[in-house]
Amino acid sequence: MAQKSRKGPNYALIGGLGVAGAAIGGAVGKFALHLGTVETGGLAVGGLLVCAAVGLFGSASGDTKRIAAQMTVKKNVDSAYQQQSLGRLAEAEKLLLEALERGKELEDSDLTKLSATHSLGNLYRLQNKPEQAEQNYRKAISSYESLKMTEEAVYAQCLRDCALVLEARGQNQESLEMAKRALPVFEKLGQSREVAETMSLMARNTRASGLLDQAVEAYRKVKDLQIKQFGEYSSEVIDTVLTSARTLRSLNQLPEAIEAYKDVLVRLNKSERPPRAWEAEALLEMAEVSLEQGQLKSVEPLCMGSLKVLQNFVGPREKLIHRLATTLQAAREKLNQPLSETEFLLLFTQNRDKVRDLFREQPDLAKQKDRAGWSPIQWTLFLGWEDLMRWLIRNGAQADGFEANVMAPVHVASAWSKGGTITFLSENNVALDPVGPQGWSPVHYAAYHGKQDCLEQLLTRGSDVTRLDVVGRSALHWAADRGHPEMVGYLLSKNLDKDLPDGKYGRSPLHLAAAAGYGLVVRTLMMNGANEQLADKGGKTPINLAEEAGHKGLVAAMKHFRSAMES
């Protein structure tokens, strides 16, 4: 749509000044100078031309300033978009605020200024500043409406973005109404990705408003749309199915809820980048529903599965661990197999002083292992009870010699502790390079969880940084996959192969970072020469994967970065 602000000379101003100049010139010639008709007419024409020229110059000067301001604003918005895509949010905010400052003289309906306002709203939402985001979105929405742009994609996107902020602030009804206004525009324009995302937002708001039956039906429709748009095993589909399972549980439709949870677990198992926290939650919730249904023998395997995911990937979520212990204890009591107070899952939900006293009273307890193969050493490292861990090791507790399918203490320390813990274990003759589940060594755990101080201690003490896991990934692959730019930079300094393809998909660290949208990691890898043209086993480059995932800004930044490097 054409911009509503002025683009050419202000002809009304020029004409008005010209008429005024002619009148003044004629009056002066006739009454002040007593000139004749011809001379008076000439003076009037001269006055018209002079004043019109003054108006033209003033108008052109104003237009020049306006165009210069528009160019500055547009340049800043484009640069901010690239900085945001690369994860440099502070730089992006500075550029957008500067753009709006330079655009003060522009009308609110000026499209370049409007673009800066909308972009700043997006940035504030990304920075989790909901009030500032909503303020900018509402201002942009008003400007789009005044420009009669209500049938365009940018208007619908602004409505949807504002609805997301309202949802985050708990204003579900208003969020739902705003999303409803955006949906028909996306549908009319055939933007299937936007339609799927907006319908998902509407379903969430419907559920939050207590309309559970309607929400279940909405989630079914959203799931079908998302499968077409994002794929069967995408995080979007998994999130929708998991929320649908929870809604069915709230409706006390327990058999249907169990089937939905099973669907979640199947999709998680086949996903390339499974959201592990959802896996732990789904397994626990399925155990809780099984307990409610009286399917008691299913409870313990599900609880142990959830615990294992927490231990390996998610971390010590206190509330989840308490729920696991409570659920397992309730199932055992109904089976007349009550848990012992020394069962580690139950024991380590107690007060730390109580646990320490129990180990002092029963020293042999330190030599035991639970059903997951963990000893007290692993539990204390997992929970951050390092004082008790040190006491246990000094008093002879086992810290080596665990099965390969169990995280050894040094694995747990590398995932959840600090570099000083690695030093302590090394000084107590604990091996620092054992292979554990998935073929991971301690350096894999440290890289996956972003524990750079642990990784530095491991490498200082001789751990093998080049080791590959069962799918052919190095520590660099996992640091890139999880979005740890400083860790990636550190590993690159160790001369790891930045373009090494993994054994499963043929993907390099850059493939993994681009697919996940980690702009700072992508920038770090490309600055160190990573090849964005490298194809995986499916023939896709990192840019292809970023495009498929909808990371438009990152794609633009990657292309711009390469052309800049070549220049």
Which residue's structure tokens are 């990371």? 551
φ/ψ of 106, rounded to 5, equals -80, 150
pLDDT at 24 > cutoff 50? no
Q: Max CA-CA distance within the chain?
A: 125
Confidence of residue 36 (pLDDT cuts 50, 70, 90): low
Please report, for residues 17, 69, 76, 566, the alpha-carbon distance to residue 29 in angstroms, rounded to integers and kept in the order given: 18, 43, 54, 68
Q: Is the pLDDT of residue 17 over 50?
A: no
CB-based contact 281:320 (threshold 8 Å): yes
Domain that holds residue 25: 1-149
Query: Is 120 domain-assigned?
Result: yes
Structure tokens at 279: 């896996």
| CA distance readout (Å), 264 to 43, 260, 364 | 87, 6, 41
User: Is 66 within a domain?
Assistant: yes
Amino acid at 527: M
In a domain, 16, yes or no: yes
In contact, 380 and 411? CB cutoff 8 Å:
no
Tell me the backbone φ, ψ of residue 395, rounded to 5 degrees: -100, 25
* 92: in domain: yes
User: What residues contact residue 248 under an 8 Å CB cut-off, 6+ apart?
Assistant: 216, 254, 256, 257, 260
CB 22 within 8 A of CB 48: yes
Has residue 20 got a pLDDT over 70? no
Predicted confidence band at 3 (pLDDT cuts at 50, 70, 90)? Answer: very low
Between these two residues, 476 and 364, which has the higher pLDDT value?
476
**pLDDT > 70 in the chain, percent:** 88
Is the pLDDT score of 330 beyond 70? Answer: yes
Q: What is the pLDDT of the chain when averaged over all its residues?
A: 88
Please report whether residue 557 resides in a domain.
Answer: no
pLDDT at 72: 86
pLDDT in tens, 452-506: 999 999 999 999 999 999 999 999 999 999 999 999 999 999 989 999 999 999 9
Region 225-234 average pLDDT:
92
How much is the pLDDT for 85?
81
Between helix 37-85 and helix 89-102 the angle, nearest 10°, is 170
Most confident of 29-33, 296-300, 361-365: 296-300
Q: Is residue 19 part of a domain?
A: yes
What is d(CA 150, CA 85) in angstroms, rounded to the nearest whole number? 27
Residue 269 burial (C-beta neighbours within 10 Å; 0-12, 13-18, 19+) = exposed
pLDDT digits (tens, 9 = 90+) for 403-451: 899 999 999 999 999 999 999 999 999 999 999 999 999 999 999 999 9
Write the secondary structure of 373-432 as one string of H (helix), E (strand) and C (coil): CCCHHHHHHHHCCHHHHHHHHHCCCCCCCCCCCCCCHHHHHHHHCCHHHHHHHHHCCCCC
Q: What is the DSSP letter of 30?
A: I
How far apart CA 5 and CA 7 sit, in angstroms, is 7
The Cα 422–Cα 332 span in angstroms is 37
| C-beta separation of 200 from 223 below 8 A | no
Residue 501 token pair: 């393809």
Tell me phi and psi for residue 249, to 5 degrees. Answer: -65, -40
DSSP H or E segment with residue 4: none
> Per-residue confidence at 66, pLDDT binned at 50, 70, 90?
confident
DSSP string, 147-186: TT-TTSHHHHHHHHHHHHHHHHTT-HHHHHHHHHHHHHHH
pTM of the model: 0.81
How confident is the model at residue 28, as a pLDDT?
42
Angle at 490 between CA 487 and CA 492, to 5 degrees: 110
Establish how many alpha carbons lie within 13 A of residue 224's alpha carbon, considering only the half-sphere containing its beta carbon. Answer: 5
By three-state DSSP, how is residue 326 classified?
Answer: helix
* Residues 286-326 pLDDT 10s: 999 999 999 999 999 999 999 999 999 999 999 999 999 99
- b/e code 443-474 from CB counts within 10 Å (16+ = b): bbbbbbbbbbebbebbbeeebebebbbeebbb
Cα–Cα dist 417/346, whole Å: 22
d(CA 458, CA 163): 47
- Let me know if residue 158 belongs to a domain: no
Within a domain: 140: yes
Q: What's residue 29's pLDDT?
A: 46
CA distance readout (Å), 117 to 103, 114, 139, 148, 231: 10, 5, 8, 17, 33
452 closest CA partner among 483, 414, 400: 414
Overall number of domains in the chain: 1
Phi-psi region of 324 (alpha: psi -120 to 50; beta: other; left: phi over 0): alpha
Which CATH number covers residue 125?
1.25.40
Tell me the mean pLDDT in the region 378-382.
96
Exposed / middle / buried, residue 129 (Cβ in 10 Å: 0-12, 13-18, 19+): middle
Report the SS3 class of residue 479.
Answer: helix
Residue 329 has pLDDT above 60, yes or no: yes
| pLDDT on residue 65 | 80
Q: What is the Cα–Cα distance from 371 to 378, expressed in whole angstroms?
A: 13
pLDDT band at 221 (very low <50, low <70, confident <90, very high): very high
pLDDT of 91 above 70:
yes
Please tell me the predicted confidence (pLDDT) of residue 68. Answer: 85
Task: Determine the Cα–Cα distance for residues 59 and 57; give it in Å rounded to an integer.
Answer: 5
